[in-house]
A and B are shown apart, each in its own frame.
Chain A
Amino acid sequence: MTVPPLSAAERLVGTGLGGTVPAPDQADPRRPNGSHARSRRRTRGPAAEQLAVAAAIVIVLVAVVGPWLAPHDPYTVDLTQQLRSPSTGHWFGTDVNGRDILSRVLAGARATLSATAIVLAVATIVGTLIGTVAALSRTIIDEILMRICDIGLALPSIVLALGLAAALGPSLRSAVIAMAATWWPGYARLVRAVVRETRDAEFVDSARMLGVGRMRLVLRHVLPNSLSILYVQVSLDVAAVMLTISGLSFIGVGAQVPSAEWGAMISAAAGNVGNGWWAVLFPGLAIAFTAITFNLVGDWLRVRTDPTLRERA
């Protein structure tokens, strides 16, 4: 369905209403030199943020071209090279099957990140749809949908996903389906809360009075002004979803053993950690590094979209 662009009148209505005015820079009353501390923060802040954004881009690039960057084939078993400690030949060492861990970590970025992306995409779409319907229906449908969300949120996602993934048969695909099925209620909740605020905003009323149709009202006026918070939440959730998926793989219901998925790599090396710590350490560091990066990016987006947080971040 195509939605025509905003008419002149609609555009006029949107301007100047409902805009957020950033809080004026207030001096800290109990710290006379507060401005000094703040300027220091300001110079440090963006640098860390730029670094995080750059790191996120690098990680995504690795996910795309990782297999070609790998110095060795991530799947070739070489039993003469079992459990070699990190060296110039194998920077991250080799695993119990003689496979180069650096190559496997690079190749694994794709499996882990694409799984995470699919989960978040599906959960966002389903969550937005259900949240919007709930917020706009104002009836028993709202109540029913929210109680369904309650049920989804009443279980730690790892537990529900573990049960579902087991039901679907252990594979990365099952883990992804199970995670998407458990992750959307949070977004539905969030979208419902924001849409409930937006639908009562003046500019929506004005558009309605201009005779804008219901569908168009939702798609062109309510949703575009509601979803920025969702992007922020999604970016903050990248790490959580990734950690849960690798946890499922670690338990054994996600990516299966020869796969270079990070959680599965740790799982395969776990029994031998005393003899080959590097086989556990490096995939875990890859997970932690990726999680830190995306958490920083998410925090930065959150502060950017919410002026009230700028002062205190």
Chain B
Amino acid sequence: MVRFITRRLGQLVIVFAGLVVVAFLMSVILPGDPGRAAAGRNATVAQVAEARHRLGLDRPLLMQFGHYAARILHGDLGTSVFTHQSVLSDIRQVLPSSVELVVAGMIINLVIAVPLGVLAAYRRGRPADVVARLFVLVGAAMPAFWLGLMLQLIFADQLKILPLSGQLSFGVDVRRITGATTLDALLEGNFPAFGDALKHLILPAIALSASFIAVVARTVRSSMITALDSDYIVLARATGAKEWRVVVRHGLRNALVPASTILGMQLGWMLGATVLVESTFNRTGLGAYMVTGVLQNDLYAVIGSILTIGVVFLLANFAVDLIQLWLNPRLRPRRRTSAVPLVTSPAPAGGVS
């Protein structure tokens, strides 16, 4: 077990190192001359050369990389040319808001997808299953950015029951404690503001989670069908256990193991998908920050965002590995397979993995 964890940790470090290499390569190929940016718009050729020398841009690529990696390990992600702040502090500013959105999206995801998958499996082939599968089919096919706009149109513009965009209504104020508006309102004990922030969270969270719901519901349905067909379910029924107990305690518990892998990966993917949603809803967050960075040619902001999302993804996967180890004793291996994939493919690969 210790061996398994060390191995995974080792892989984590390797992949993180790879991410740093990717980030460095991007900083080399991205347009825009950091030397010129640092020297200022009206700098002379000599001043630009001086700035390039100061930043180490005139040294060999390998040395530049060493320098770059050392800086990243010290938490120095460079300075945003747009906000004139260090990228790390920028990201610290915006990340809590994105985490808030992702958590809301995950809650919606779990609350809808798991019961839907169980229902579809239990009523396999019946109308409930057909409806659930239609829901999954449509949910997986809708572009998140389009769904966001449509939700805004229907619920904010036409029905006027939910706010159009932003994080708080005009005039409602919450002191920044963590940066996640709902949490800050709660910590302050300001419940009207909490309700207001929650209302602002609903539409973007739905837009963000729709495609993820489809994947989870599908996975739960398929593993639930396998579980419900197995001998231990027949045995549980034979003991005279109540039907819901058979389904939930014996069926769902086993069916949730594959779903938990998917959910862990979705955490990172959802954080990435905020690039499609946050700007539409005019929310602050990592996605909106990265989009602004891309559109403003803000090199370090883009790379910083990519690294952050990558690190969150890796840590979420590692956490899932640990949780599964704890959930499922069968996974505590004595066998040591070579080259265990650190990140499993998100799509169900037809039984091949």
Which A residues are within 8 Å of any B CB, using their own CB?
A: 29-30, 37-38, 40-41, 142-143, 146-148, 150-151, 153-156, 158-160, 162-164, 166-167, 169, 186, 189-190, 193-194, 197, 229, 232-233, 236-237, 239, 243, 246-247, 250-253, 263, 266, 270, 273-274, 277, 280-281, 283-284, 287-289, 291-292, 295-296, 302, 305-306, 308-309, 312
> What chain B residues lie within 8 Å of A280 (beta carbons)?
146, 149-150, 153
A36 to chain B minimum Cβ distance, whole angstroms, is: 10
Q: Is the CB of A147 within 8 A of B14?
A: yes
**Which residue in chain B gives the minimum CB-CB distance to A252?**
B295
Q: Is B275 a contact of A309 with CB atoms below 8 Å?
A: no
Question: Which chain B residues in 51-93 approach chain A with CB under 8 Å?
Answer: none
Bound CA–CA A302/B222 (angstroms):
14
* Residue contact A270 to B143, C-beta cutoff 8 Å: no
Question: Does the CB pair B294–A186 fall under 8 Å?
Answer: no
Q: Report if B216 contacts A (CB, 8 A).
A: no
Q: How far is the CA of A233 from the CA of B305 in the complex (A)?
A: 30
Contacts of A163 in B (CB 8 A): 26, 294, 302-303, 306
Whole-angstrom distance between the Cβ of A91 and the nearest chain B Cβ: 19
Q: A163-B303, A280-B149 are in contact. List 18 more A-B contacts (CB 8 A).
A: A150-B11, A151-B19, A153-B345, A154-B343, A155-B313, A159-B305, A162-B291, A169-B31, A186-B345, A193-B352, A243-B141, A266-B145, A274-B157, A281-B150, A284-B149, A287-B143, A288-B146, A312-B222
List B contacts of A273 (CB < 8 A). Answer: 149, 152-153, 157
24 interchain pairs, CB-CB under 8 A: A30-B237, A38-B125, A146-B339, A146-B341, A150-B341, A151-B18, A154-B19, A156-B268, A156-B269, A156-B313, A158-B272, A162-B294, A229-B349, A239-B141, A243-B211, A247-B144, A250-B276, A251-B145, A251-B279, A273-B157, A274-B157, A280-B150, A295-B141, A302-B350
A7-B46 Cα distance, complex, nearest whole Å: 72
From DSSP, what is the main secondary structure of chain B's interface residues? helix
Assess the B350–A162 pair: CB atoms within 8 A: no
Complex: A166 Cα to B299 Cα, angstroms: 9
Closest chain A residue to B286 by CB distance? A159
List chain A residues, Cβ under 8 A from B125. Answer: 37-38, 40-41
**Chain B residues touching A, range:** 35 or more
- B351 close to chain A: CB less than 8 A: yes
